[in-house]
Amino acid sequence: MRKSVRKTVLLCCEGKADQAFVAYLRSTYTAGKRGAPYVLPKQAGGKGGNHVIATLLGELRCSKPDRAVALLDADCPPAAAKRREARHHGIELIALEPCLEGLLLRILGLAVPPSSQACKERLKSIDRRDPFDPGFYAKHFPKARLDIERQSIPELDSLLALFDS
C-alpha cells in the first residue's frame, strides 16, 4: 500500500491572537478529515507586515512547505519592496482590513471601526477575554457561522481555502 504525502502550508501572522485563530480554524476544518493539508501557524511577534514577511522568509530557509502564506494586518502593510520579495519567493498574502479584530467583527455582523485599537476595544465589549484565550473562538465563531460568512468575506474565504484539500 502506498503511503500518501500530506501537503503543508506554512502561515506566518502577526501575533498570538492571529496564531490562535488559525489554530482554531485548523482544528475546526481538518479534524478527522483525511488528506487535509497541515497548516502550521507561526507568529512574527508584531511589528507590522514587513516583519511578518521577513519572519516567513527566515522560516522558508529552514523548511520547504507546499505553500507559504503571510497573514497581514492592512493597517500596517509591508513596503512595496517587501511585497516584491514575497512574490519572488512565491509567498501568498492575505490582508485583513484593518486587522484580525476587524475580521472577527465582520464575521459577527458588526460595524468595523477604522482603527485597530478601536476594533480591539469593540471586540472587548463583546467578550472581555483576549482572543487567544482558550474557548474564545469556539464560543463566538462556530463552524456553521464561518461557513455562511465566508461567502461574503473574501479574506475569510481565503483563509478557509487553506484547509481545503
Query: Percentage of the chain with pLDDT > 70?
Result: 98
Which pTM was predicted? Answer: 0.93
Q: Per-residue pLDDT averaged across 129-144, rounded?
A: 93
First-to-last CA distance in the chain? 21
pLDDT of res. 33: 87
Query: Percentage of the chain with pLDDT > 90?
Result: 87
How far apart CA 25 and CA 97 sit, in angstroms, is 19
> E strand or H helix at 67, and its extent?
strand 67-73
pLDDT of res. 90: 97
The phi and psi torsions of 97 (rounded to 5 degrees) equal: -100, 120
pLDDT of res. 47: 92
pLDDT of res. 134: 86
pLDDT above 70: residue 165: no
Q: Per-residue pLDDT averaged across 53-72, rounded?
A: 96
